[in-house]
Amino acid sequence: MLPVIETSLCAGACAPFSFLHASDTHLTRADRRDNPMKNELARRRTPVFPASEEGYAGLMAMPGDGLIVHTGDLIDFVSEANLDAAMALSASHDLFFAVGNHEFSRYVGEAFEDGRYREESFDQVSACFRNPLRFAVRERNGVMLVGMDNGYYLLDNRQFSALKRVVSLGMPILLFLHTPLYEEKLADMVFAEGNPCSYLMGAPEKLCFTYPPDRRIQQTADGVTRAAYEYILSEPLIKAVFAGHLHFDAETMLTPSLPQFVTGKATFRRVTVE
Ligand SMILES: [Fe+2]
What's the CATH number where 23 sits?
A: 3.60.21.10
Which pLDDT value is given to residue 26? 98
Cα of 8 from ligand 1 centre, angstroms: 24
Cα of 246 from ligand 1 centre, angstroms: 7
Cα of 73 from ligand 1 centre, angstroms: 5
Give the predicted TM-score (pTM) of the model. 0.97
Cα of 230 from ligand 1 centre, angstroms: 25
Which pLDDT value is given to residue 195? 97
Which pLDDT value is given to residue 264? 98
Written in H, E and C, the secondary structure of the chain is CCCEEEEEECCCCCCCEEEEEECCCCECCCCCCCCHHHHHHHHHHHHHCCCHHHHHHHHHCCCCCCEEEECCCCECCCCHHHHHHHHHHHHHCEEEECCCCHHHCCCCCCCCCCHHHHHHHHHHHHCCCCCCCCEEEEEECCEEEEEECCCCCCCCHHHHHHHHHHHCCCCCEEEEECCCECCHHHHHHHHHCCCCCCCCECCCHHHHCCCCHHHHHHHCCCHHHHHHHHHHHHCCCEEEEEECCCCCCEEEEEECCEEEEECCCCCEEEEEEC
Cα of 14 from ligand 1 centre, angstroms: 34
Which pLDDT value is given to residue 1? 83
Cα of 36 from ligand 1 centre, angstroms: 24
Cα of 48 from ligand 1 centre, angstroms: 11
Cα of 162 from ligand 1 centre, angstroms: 25
Count Cβ atoms within 10 A of the Cβ of residue 174 and give its class: 0-12 exposed, 13-18 middle, 19 or more buried: buried
Which pLDDT value is given to residue 64? 87
Domain count, the chain: 1
Cα of 199 from ligand 1 centre, angstroms: 11
Instruction: Round to whole Å and give the CA distance between 126 and 176.
Output: 17
**How many Cβ atoms from other residues are within 10 Å of residue 247's Cβ?**
17
Angular region, 138: left φ>0, alpha ψ -120 to 50, beta rest: beta
Q: One digit per residue, pLDDT tens: the chain, 274 residues? A: 899 999 999 999 999 999 999 999 999 999 999 999 999 999 999 999 999 999 999 999 999 889 999 999 999 999 999 999 999 999 999 999 999 999 999 999 999 999 999 999 999 999 999 999 999 999 999 999 999 999 999 999 999 999 999 999 999 999 999 999 999 999 999 999 999 999 999 999 999 999 999 999 999 999 999 999 999 999 999 999 999 999 999 999 999 999 999 999 999 999 999 9
Pair 146, 137: CB distance under 8 Å: yes
Instruction: Round to whole Å and give the CA distance between 68 and 259.
Output: 20
Cα of 175 from ligand 1 centre, angstroms: 18
Which pLDDT value is given to residue 244? 98
Instruction: Please calculate the CA angle 71-74-79 and round it to the nearest 5 degrees.
Output: 145
Pair 173, 167: CB distance under 8 Å: yes
Domain range for residue 74? 4-273
Cα of 190 from ligand 1 centre, angstroms: 14
